[in-house]
Chain A
Amino acid sequence: DVKVTQSSRYLVKRTGEKVFLECVQDMDHENMFWYRQDPGLGLRLIYFSYDVKMKEKGDIPEGYSVSREKKERFSLILESASTNQTSMYLCASSTLFGTTEAFFGQGTRLTVV
């Protein structure tokens, strides 16, 4: 069974902290994605990566960075957490082919206080 695993289900961090969200996939997928989900806004793309050490900005990259040192792992970094980054974060992966669906992790609910 295919799997995308996010390291934490729930996180509480303080304003100004540096926060790392980790995601690992076991499907040998080239593409990996980070989205944030907010009520009424759906999923918005933060960053994605199509290869190791490669990344592209999504629609809302401000305040975030990413790291992909190995094919199976994609990390989202909040350089200095702020309360407006309180949200559900979803990681996904897919093959290079546009015809295939993306597989999602279970999500990390981050609260910044």
Chain B
Amino acid sequence: AQSVAQPEDQVNVAEGNPLTVKCTYSVSGNPYLFWYVQYPNRGLQFLLKYITGDNLVKGSYGFEAEFNKSQTSFHLKKPSALVSDSALYFCAVREGTGRRALTFGSGTRLQVQP
């Protein structure tokens, strides 16, 4: 079975400061990992993914994420937060050779204060 944990319901950060949104996963095979963002009353927008290769992946809007196999983590990061980054962020996993559907975490609300 595949699962994702996002340990923080909410993350608060000041504009201009770096941000990190945490994600840990559990799969029995190789993980395919994804981050999505959701703005109010909208669907999910894809940010970035890790499939294989370099552990640091870069995505949309200046976001990046670091894959750490030993810690089974895939934390989302951004060097300098913007107020417009305030949204709900979801981490998701799919096992490489298993189930076709993504399994999502519970989500982390990011609040960037001016």
Q: Which residues from chain A sit less than 8 Å from chain B, CB to CB?
A: 4, 9, 31, 33, 35, 40-45, 48, 50, 58, 90, 92, 94, 96, 98-99, 101-107, 109
Q: Which residue of B lies closest to A91 (CB)?
A: B43
Spell out B's residues near A (CB within 8 Å): 4, 6, 9, 32, 34, 36, 41-46, 49, 51, 90, 92, 94-97, 100-107
Least Cβ–Cβ distance between B107 and chain A, in angstroms: 5
Residues of A within 8 A of B49 (CB): 99, 101
Main secondary structure of the interface of A (DSSP, over half): strand
- Tell me, in angstroms, the Cα distance from A103 to B106 when the chains sit together: 19
Query: Are B100 and A106 interface neighbours, CB within 8 A?
Result: no
Q: Are A41 and B106 in contact (CB under 8 A)?
A: yes
Specify which chain A residues have a CB less than 8 angstroms from the CB of B6 in the assembled complex.
Answer: 42
What residues of B have a CB within 8 angstroms of the CB of A105 in the complex? 43
Closest residue of A by beta carbon distance from B94: A98
